[in-house]
Amino acid sequence: MALPAGTKAKTGQKCPQGGIWHPVGNPKEQRSIGINNVMPPTPKGETHWVLQKPTGDK
């Protein structure tokens, strides 16, 4: 079962759910990140990503 939209992941940790992610407070900076990939640095130095739309890889 996929994690729900709104799930947060910290920069530098492994991605818990594949999908479309955006930095906290910056929803226009969307990025597709696959499960178990390392959450990348954000454009403006935010510390967390927010899952906008999960995909099937959980």
- Per-position pLDDT tens, the chain of length 58: 889 999 999 999 999 999 999 999 999 999 999 999 999 999 999 999 999 999 975 5
Please give the order of strands across the beta sheet that includes 8-10: 8-10, 48-54, 19-23, 31-33
For residue 48, with 0-12 CB atoms within 10 Å meaning exposed, 13-18 middle and 19 or more buried, which class applies?
middle
Task: Please check whether residue 14 lies inside any domain of the structure.
Answer: yes
Task: Please check whether residue 27 lies inside any domain of the structure.
Answer: yes
Q: Which amino acid is at 45?
A: G
Domain that holds residue 47: 8-54
Number of separate domains in the chain: 1
Residue 23, phi then psi, degrees to nearest 5: -65, 150
Task: Please check whether residue 15 lies inside any domain of the structure.
Answer: yes
Global pTM reads 0.91
